[in-house]
A and B are shown apart, each in its own frame.
Chain A
Amino acid sequence: MGLTLSWLSIIILIPLAGLFLKSLELSPEQFWNILSSRRTLNALRVSFGLAFAAACVNLVMGSIIVWALVRYHFPGRRLFDAIVDVPFALPTAVAGVALTALFAEKGWLGAPLAAAGIKVAFTPVGIFVAMIFIGIPFVVRTVQPVLQDLDPEIEEAAGSLGASRWQTIIRVILPSLGPALLTGLALAFARAVGEYGSVIFIAGNLPNVSEIAPLLIVIRLSEFRYADATAIAVVMLIVSFVIIFAVNRLQRWAQSRIPAR
């Protein structure tokens, strides 16, 4: 017990406390000035906005993937199941250069898209694509076990009582998956907001347009503007803390709702 807490404080608490102490050195006015500067606001808007959009895409596509993996049998199902984890395991810098090569104007997918008038690499669309890539396992892996454990009898009951298949999915299955879907959405969002490695190569990094908040922190650090870096970091840290705390509460609530079998 004591060892846990002391190790936890050395590695996690002291560094985080340092961050907050540093931000306290700023007067509220300075803090506000940094955060309300045009470049900071735009970076936060790009990071949070695109991360949310990507998380929503992941929620929809992740649900479809989970449904296919759990409910249907098709050739290569186990392989695709394993492939879902690639964005977890692939180092972000590798993902970054690979996605850039793929979506660059001469890339395998970039060329046909450019012919259609869509530019992906070095635009905000590129950031969006990278965020979708890194978020997909979060939705799939949180929803998959819940759908697997879903009692088939409930669905059969709904069906035999005259509900259409669509009604059964919307009224019976979706509510049972609710907490897991929300958790997956939150995790994918949290990951995408803070993502750095896989985004910076494809982003173009144009200030106010395609510059993400983590990159702005790095830029401020390299300019020795530590106060600016700290202020942006504190805002992002508070958001991620709230998300993770909410997810843990959500998990506990979901567990208490379903009696253990």
Chain B
Amino acid sequence: MTMQIAESVSLSAPDARARAHAAAAQNNLRTEPRAVRITIIALAMTFLSVFVVLPLVVVFAQAFSKGILAYLAALADPEALSAIKLTLVVAAISVGLNLVFGLVAAWAIAKFEFRGKTFLITLIDLPFSVSPVISGLVFVLLFGAQGYFGSWLRDHDIQILFAVPGIALATTFVTFPFVARALIPLMQEQGTQEEEAAVSLGASGLQTFFRVTLPNIKWGVLYGVLLCNARAMGEFGAVSVVSGHIRGETNTMPLLVEILYNEYQFVAAFAIASLLAMLALITLIAKTVLERHLDEGHDRRDH
């Protein structure tokens, strides 16, 4: 754009006018009449406002509908505090596990060729498209009283279902694809040249990974962890099936929202919901920042 202006300034007047006409004509070929443009923009803005913005606003409006004191009292409730603590613990476990796995899986898929790759990627993606309820169900079938490992677990007095391990497992299952999915395209694009150079210069496998691979993908790792964490803290369906809803013990924040809501404690329910909504908003802002970093890395490699 600036180049065009600079060019037209240096040209003689009639020439410039001809050029401007040509440019305008070209623009016309790629855009619509003003009325159509305005309709499309209005449709898009209305749709997003009604379906996305309003629900967000409702959460905060309901949470503060009885004033800020009622809001704070709802959050200071022991049940709320234990739900917040459990949510943080579960998120830490599943993000940690999926971080390690995501790195290894992305590495294997991006840097090596092998048969059945599409199938493997499909498997990794599966938790994205499986109903969260089914994700919970599979663990009930494995570890429940009538499940495959149920009697063995009972004999050894190990509690998985209706306890923290079950919630962590179900959450790990549901958040499985995030880190791997964020890294696969990034690592594929980078290819294997840098690693091959490092190895041929005598670096060990681990050295290569920490000094060459990891610095190249650090923003991608953060990106995956961010999305993984948001889903882990907000997961509802899968956790609902395996948690057993023991108050003060196995209720995560989303489960507590449901219980309070069904008991008509709307202020309390929306107070917890508002914390989760804030988590979502912070995640989105952080995501936008990270995407900018990822794009910059992309541009650097292109030039």
Residues of A within 8 A of B (CB): 1, 3-4, 7-8, 11-16, 18-19, 21-22, 61, 64-65, 67-69, 71-72, 74, 76, 80, 82-87, 89-95, 97-99, 101-102, 107-109, 129, 132-133, 136, 152, 155-156, 158-160, 165, 168, 187, 190-191, 193-197, 201, 213-215, 217-218, 221, 224, 226, 229-230, 233, 236-237, 240-241, 243-245, 248-249, 252
Contacts and interface: CB of A to CB of B under 8 A. Distances in A.
Contacts of A18: 138, 141-142, 147-148
Nearest to B254: A93
A108 B56 CA distance: 13
A156 B146 contact: no
B131 A196 contact: yes
Contacts of B43: 61, 64, 68
A19 B137 contact: yes
Given A95-B55, A194-B131, A217 B123 contact: no
B12 interface: no
A155 B104 CA distance: 43
Contact of A248 (B121, B148, B273): B121
B207 interface: no
A93 B273 contact: yes
Interface in B43-100: 43-45, 47-48, 50-56, 58-59, 62
Contacts of A244: 122, 125-126, 128-129
Contact of A91 (B31, B54, B127, B280): B280
B162 interface: no
B105 interface: yes
A250 to B, nearest CB: 11
Contacts of A94: 59, 234, 254, 257, 273, 276-277, 280
B187 to A, nearest CB: 13
Contacts, number: 266
Question: Main SS of the interface on chain B?
Answer: helix
A215 B137 CA distance: 12
Interface in B248-283: 253-255, 257-258, 261, 266, 269-270, 273, 276-277, 279-281, 283
Contacts of A190: 129
Contact of B52 (A21, A64, A84, A213): A84
Given A8-B123, A18-B138, A218-B240, A91 B130 contact: no
B29 A90 contact: no
Given A89-B280, A160-B29, A194-B131, A84 B48 contact: yes
B164 interface: no
B41 A72 contact: yes
B133 A214 contact: yes
Contacts of A245: 118, 122
Contact of A236 (B30, B134, B283): B134
Contacts of B26: 156
Given A64-B44, A155-B30, A98 B138 contact: no
B141 A197 contact: no
B37 interface: yes
